[in-house]
A and B are shown apart, each in its own frame.
Chain A
Amino acid sequence: MVTRSVQEMRKFVAPEFVFGVDARGLAGRYTANFGAKKVLVVSDPGVCEAGWTDAVMASLADAGIETTLYTDVTPNPRSHEAMRGAEEYRAHGCQAVVAVGGGSPMDCAKGICVVVSNGGDILVYEGVDRIPIPMPPLVCVPTTAGTAADVSQFCIITDEHRDVKIALVSKALVPDVALIDAETLVTMPADLTAATGLDALVHAVEAFSSNASWEITDLCALRAIEGVFRWLEPCMDDPLSIESRTGMALASLEAGLAFSNASLGATHAMAHALGGKLDLPHGECNALLLEHVLNFNLPVFSAGRRVQLARAMGIAIDSATDVEPQAISERLHLFRHGIGVVDSLSSLGVTRADLPLLAETAMGDACMVTNPRRPQQEDIEAIYEAAF
């Protein structure tokens, strides 16, 4: 494990966020305050159907703002979708972007913003800290609890020509405002609630595990882990409960703040490889891999951090000074099964022959550099094998 120097400079970046029921109604006021008169609203057909896009556009209209709606966004958004969106933005003389939806519309919106202010192709900005010019104002109204793209410095776009998901990591990608309204979560179907909820859990665990974690990110990460274990099952049981949904929205926010500033680890690096190659759902891939990655990582944790993690997961520990790594991964395994995520990589259609290439791709992912234990490619292959 990388030893953190006490002298190392750290920073914590978070956008302005408004948390609470009806926060979506502030979209008009915030956008007007940025001085924008025309905006591009980025959403997807599912969110439109649920009615949240109309609600946000009504708020914009009330503030006297003209809108252009862009919904050609698929799950795991493609680079050409971001490029098309940027064309729409320019063609309509927009001055800001409002994203309404889950990770896909928000990441697509970020891609659009990067191209609008920096020009060129979105794929050019792949990597860490590669975006020189800030984006136009971006207001996010998340309608899922997990991705946290509304507060994070990450943007994941699929390079459809190479079949890989590329990561853009930059402080420039942190949106200007997140309007987090738990009421928008009630229309999520159960499988989406489960996948995004587990995504939030993986964000929090990976941020806590990260070799770049520190006191502030730990605070958020542990709170988020507690929150997911406390509220995800109630959300599955009673989708309309505002209390449960608010609990998950908060957990997702905390997890987002944690991973945006501490970054992630091998689980995400490996999930990105899977998502790019086989177009698999991000939250589910993460959930399947996390327990196996922890088996690899936990031995390098200090005993104290293993105990902190176990306590956050609600594992009963009687004044113990350490906890068995096995107990933690088992808890995770049972938890995902409890909410119905029971697949393995093979049942998702991954073949053994895919594994070496997937491992090689994962080794090149930016998330891998903050994994607490520096792996060799064979270690990653072994983890894929375990989740197979």
Chain B
Amino acid sequence: MKRRSESDYAEWDELRARVIGLGENSAQKSYYPELVEQMAEQERFRALLDEVPDLILVVSVTDGSVADANDAAARVLGVPKGDLAGRDIHEVLPEALLRSIDPLLAGEGMRLVAESTLGTPAIAYEISARHVDFGGGHYVVVIGRDITERKRTAKLLEDHRRQLEFEVERRTAALSETVIHLREAADVRNRFLAKMSHELRTPLNSIIGFSGVMLQGHAGDMTEEAIRQLSMINDSGKHLLTLINEVLNYSRIEQGSIEVDCESFNGGDVVRRAVHMLEHEAKRRGLVLTERICDECPVIYSDPGKVTQVLTNLIENGLKYSSAGGVTVHADPDDRGGIVVKVIDTGQGIAASDIDIIWHEFRQLPRPEGALSEGIGLGLAISARLAEAIGAELTVESQVGVGSTFTFRVPNLEEGCLLPGRRPAGPEAQ
């Protein structure tokens, strides 16, 4: 059994001090620490509320009195800080706004958003109000936000929009006028070109005709030198006639007068004929023109004249731009009953940056070194228009220094069918 010493009893003395209420926790029989914490929390909350620029009012549903309000509310409503609480809301807010809020206070509806002017000078506020229950009481919290800046911005935006609309209208009118002028100018130009071409062809036919007659010896014998010079007159006349025909053709297209004249024909035959027409020209240029045409080419329904014209343009172009080698023409059926023709040349090729300009009127790529300029740059432009007119597709792939391949896909339009993209106002239209 352990005997207690004086030092053991010292512990008892220390314990005794605590028993009689002088220990460190014994001054704590109160809720003060909790109260202090709650007060601090309330102060934080108050500071938050008062720092908010929006006006905030808490209105008791029971008697319509203001239960709480923040600094912004007191400032805007012109009531000294602290004097708002307890006041009847009807003394504080303008009548028009109260007409919106009163039903809410009467328990009709849960929330509302309205606009109102408050304070002096009057400032526009967006008012939102809704029911909130806390601490066993029922309240409506009213929040007002100054929307002066928002309104100003909205007005600026509206003014700007109107200004833009006006500007667009003005520009559109100016453009329409320009378009009319341009159309008129184009018409004048086309009429002029057609007329001039026609006027030029008459004397030119005489030049070609009579020089031809003379070359055949019908006008008597000529010296060798006279025949050589007369041949030059005849060739130049023919060349000039080609150019004039090309211009005439283009001006017709420009005027929108491409007439499509469809019939059924063997696609291979048309290709073969076009190649045949240019064999002489190839030979003249010292080039080789070869063909590889499908054995059983389909019979297609399209405009054979347009197809021939596009093909001769493409082959001629190939010949023009090839200084050696030649042009190869492939024709194959496509999987939808049409025909695909590829015209492959061994020319200089087209740089990727130039590939778009070849389709433009009066634009030509530089010719091979040493070659003379031929034509006036309408061939591909006309071909593209003609292809479009018969629903065909014309594309090009090219590699500089190797050559170009033009692909011409001619669809089988089938008898009675309309061209794609052209819908008439017929029974099919609803």
Contacts and interface: CB of A to CB of B under 8 A. Distances in A.
Interface in B1-55: 1-4, 9, 12-13, 15-16, 18-31
A11 B12 contact: no
A249 to B, nearest CB: 24
Contacts of B22: 9, 11
Given A128-B15, A211-B16, A374 B9 contact: yes
Nearest to B1: A377
Nearest to B21: A11
Q: Is the interface of A mostly helix, strand, loop or mixed?
A: loop
B20 A10 contact: yes
Nearest to B32: A134
A369 B19 contact: yes
A377 B16 CA distance: 19
A170 B16 contact: no
Contacts of B28: 132-134, 171-172
B2 to A, nearest CB: 7
Name the residue in A11, A128, A132, A363 with the highest tally of chain B Cβ atoms < 10 Å from its Cβ: A128
Interface in A361-382: 363, 366, 368-370, 374, 376-378
A261 interface: yes
A261 B20 CA distance: 6
A374 B4 contact: yes
Contacts, number: 74
A128 B19 contact: yes
Tier of interface size on chain A: 20 to 34
Contact of B16 (A11, A370, A378): A370
B30 A376 contact: no
Contact of A174 (B19, B24, B29): B29
B9 A129 contact: no
Nearest to A359: B1
Nearest to A375: B4
Given A212-B20, A261-B20, A378-B1, A132 B12 contact: no
A134 B30 contact: yes
Interface in A202-255: 211-212
A13 B21 contact: yes
B37 to A, nearest CB: 12
Interface string A316-329: 00000000000000
A376 B16 contact: no
B18 to A, nearest CB: 4
Nearest to A129: B23
Contacts of A211: 16
B221 to A, nearest CB: 135
Q: Is the interface of B mostly helix, strand, loop or mixed?
A: loop
Nearest to A174: B29
Nearest to A37: B136
Nearest to B136: A37
A127 B27 CA distance: 17
Given A13-B21, A376-B4, A212 B16 contact: yes
Contacts of B20: 10-11, 212, 261-263
A130 interface: yes
A240 B4 CA distance: 50
Contact of B25 (A130, A174, A363, A377): A130
Contacts of A262: 20
Contacts of A169: 18-19
Interface in A178-204: none
A129 B23 CA distance: 6
B21 A261 contact: yes
Given A377-B1, A377-B2, A212 B25 contact: no
Nearest to B8: A374
B26 to A, nearest CB: 4
Contact of A369 (B2, B16, B25, B27): B16
Interface string A260-279: 01110000000000000000
Contact of A374 (B12, B15, B26): B12
B175 to A, nearest CB: 76
B343 to A, nearest CB: 93
A132 B25 CA distance: 6
A374 to B, nearest CB: 5
Given A172-B28, A374-B9, A129 B18 contact: yes
Interface of A: 2, 9-11, 13, 128-134, 153, 169-172, 174, 211-212, 261-263, 356, 363, 366, 368-370, 374, 376-378
Given A369-B15, A374-B12, A377-B4, 20 more contacts: A9-B22, A10-B20, A11-B21, A13-B29, A128-B23, A134-B29, A134-B30, A170-B25, A171-B26, A171-B27, A172-B25, A172-B28, A211-B16, A263-B20, A363-B4, A366-B19, A369-B12, A370-B19, A376-B4, A378-B1
26 contacts: A10-B20, A11-B20, A13-B29, A128-B15, A128-B18, A128-B23, A129-B25, A132-B25, A169-B19, A170-B26, A171-B21, A171-B26, A261-B21, A263-B20, A369-B12, A369-B13, A369-B16, A369-B19, A370-B16, A370-B19, A374-B4, A374-B9, A374-B12, A376-B4, A377-B2, A377-B4
Interface of B: 1-4, 9, 12-13, 15-16, 18-31
